[in-house]
Amino acid sequence: MNSESNVKEDIPSIGHFIGGQGVAANGATQAVFNPATGEINSLVSLADASTVDKAIQSAHKAFPNWRNTPPQKRAKILFKFRELLEQHADALCALITAEHGKVLDDARGELGRGIEVVEYACGISELLKGEFSKNAGPGVDSWSELQPLGVVAGITPFNFPAMVPMWMFPMAIACGNTFILKPSERDPSVALLMAELFREAGLPAGVFNVVNGDKSAVDALLLDARISAVSFVGSTPIAESIYKQATDNGKRVQALGGAKNHAVIMPDADIESSVDALMGAAYGSCGERCMAVSVVVCVGNDLADKVIARFKTKIAALKIGPGTDLNNDMGPLISQAAKDRIIRYIEQGIAEGAQLVADGRGLVVADYENGFFIGGCLFDGVTESMSIYRDEIFGPVLCVVRAQNLEEAMGLIDRHEFGNGACIFTRDGETARVFTDNIQVGMVGVNVALPVPIASQSFGGWKRSLFGDLYVYGPDAIRFYTHRKTMTQRWPSNGVLEGASYSFPNS
């Protein structure tokens, strides 16, 4: 944590967005770094309880009118918001790269996937249709409606400062809720620009609010009775803690946690195309993705040797540097702390007996010596007992595990505590079918390294990768952000009701 007194006076401050307008930073602040240079970009305000309360008050006040706004009118605002996102794509992506570090092409991909969710939310009039049954009984009609919950909150991670918030707030707001976003304090600027664009699109004041902060701000949201539901994406320990704390306080919760995504390469797979796909899945965004492939399971020792040799060549050719350089494949990590943690995992992997066949620890980028860079790393001889296999490293570290057959490979995946995603590379349809039918994870790819569902599906894992019953975006978002209410109605003939009946009613 930093105070105004120990940094340069000309460093800009980042505040909040409450009640349809920006709110200046005050109180405690934290440095926001440029990961490529290691320099402080800005200071973000850490909201205290009173600031969070103002955001909740604003959202609570805005809810009755927004709830009663026709879905088609909400959709028109979302259409305009989508248009503005595309018009300001360059500015949004520049902010992502400046504060997160990922290369601009990756930032564009992130923003594009987020916009796809906004597009899906634009169909809210169709998505909110209820059900109607005429003459469910003699003269009795029955129907259901999907009604908004109220004030809902989203707590999002640093690795996708545009996309992950857009997994949440467009759908929640389209359903008639008001929303409070608590983005990562490491890269907060994108959320604030999106809030400004939403206001420009015509969103009423208080419907969308952004509160920057740390754990204190999160706790204030989790404890407040006016918050009806919480969406979270982050590590498993925090996801589990948030799920428990929020449900203990009577809230609906979806908390997406960690991952250890496996890729199985079968002997019949094309090695060149498989490794090409997995290079992007493992080292894209410096491995800071919840869907990043971090374990490759090679079926057969001969295959493993060939795959590792190909990986070594590809890793040596990686272009690593600032994300603003369009020629680079990989940018820096988010922070020095993240780099230090990943180096500790690498050292632990060596100590536990794994073979480090590609070592990115000594990488120095010319003119960016203070940046948070690390090169691509590759381990061979990894086993289930090793920490580099068990834990989510969240960096450019890929582990190769050798298996003798498909059954052994699938057993590895099924035994792991995480069940986020997995993929298989094969040319055999029967093998693919066995894998997709039986593997114990939530998202599966066949010759697709990053099987992220499209916006009209839903995203989520199994086991300790998800706490809660519903995934994010897609059809599950409608279920998560609404209550189903069923009405049964009867209008008696000539205004006369039947006499008392003591049997249970039936049709």
Q: Report, as residue numbers or ranges, the catalytic residues.
A: 290
101: nearest Cα among 39, 193, 15, 20: 39
346, 351, 357, 363 alpha-carbon torsion, rounded to 10°: 40
Angle, in degrees to the nearest 10, between helices 104-121 and 163-174: 10
Which two tokens mark 303?
């295959």
- Enumerate long-range contacts of 451-457, CB under 8 Å, 24 or more apart: 451/291, 451/421, 451/423, 452/113, 452/291, 454/116, 455/113, 455/116, 455/117, 455/119, 455/120, 456/120
* Residue 289 burial (C-beta neighbours within 10 Å; 0-12, 13-18, 19+): buried
Phi, psi angle pair for 310, to nearest 5°: -70, -40
- CA–CA dist 27, 462 (Å, integer): 40
Q: Tell me if residue 138 falls in helix, strand or coil.
A: coil
Q: How many CA atoms lie within 13 A of 133 on its CB side?
A: 12
Q: Which single residue is written with the structure tokens 């994010």?
A: 472
Q: Which helix (H) or strand (E) holds 232?
A: strand 227-233
Judged by phi (left if over 0) then psi (alpha if -120 to 50, else beta), residue 236 lies in alpha
Identify the CA nearest to 395 among candidates 285, 263, 320, 238. 285
